[in-house]
A = this chain, B = another copy of it.
Amino acid sequence: MEKKDYKTALIATATRLFAERGLNGVSIRELSTAAGVSISMISYYFDGKEGLYSAVLLDQFSCFRYMESIKERASGPLEKIEEYVRWSIQRNRDYPYLLRYYTSELTNPTRYFSIIVQPALEKALHILIEIIKEGVENKQFREDLNPEDTALAMAGMVNYYFLSTLATQKFINHSPERDEELIRHYMDLFTKGL
């Protein structure tokens, strides 16, 4: 295998194992056996288990940079919010383990939380808050709208849809075919209310 292949294989295996058992629940020996790579290779490429965990986090949270491109678009705040909702859903589809890292780092942070996770989430939320403020300044949104609470409400709505899957799949269809319909319902809820 090439250097790139070893690193990719290790990150893929580690993403699954760390998602299931957390940083402390997986040994470097298990990682080495599961990925078919020697322990010395893990040390060489990632400086050990912790370095591999931080590489997994960097990979999982790299998608948050996409929020910047939403911000730069010329369309109005409502279109940007719809793009945010669409991207939030897609990111959970593309990174099926992301929500586990997201929730475990927020509830039981490792030392990489403040280096990788916090900045990624803060940046994305700040962009969303700016978009909402833009709508209030344009008088498109209510002047008494609280941008921070609204941004958290929007983020929560989409994340919980995925978080609740295991408890709700018996009575709510979570298939990707329904994603556009779901975006429509969310946007209606935010523009029309109940």
Contact = CB atoms under 8 A, between A and B. Distances in A.
A10 interface: no
Given A152-B168, A156-B160, A192 B189 contact: no
A167 B135 contact: no
A146 B144 CA distance: 26
Contacts of A126: 171
Interface residues of A, number: 61
A41 interface: no
A172 B152 contact: yes
- State the majority secondary structure of interface residues on A: helix
Contact of A189 (B153, B155, B163): B153
Contacts of A66: none
Contacts of A99: 107
Interface stretch (A19-27, A32-40, A51-59): A19-27
The 5 closest A-B pairs by CB, nearest first: A156-B160, A193-B193, A103-B103, A156-B156, A121-B167
Given A125-B168, A153-B160, 13 more contacts: A19-B107, A99-B107, A103-B104, A104-B104, A106-B164, A122-B167, A145-B188, A156-B157, A156-B159, A156-B161, A156-B163, A159-B160, A192-B193
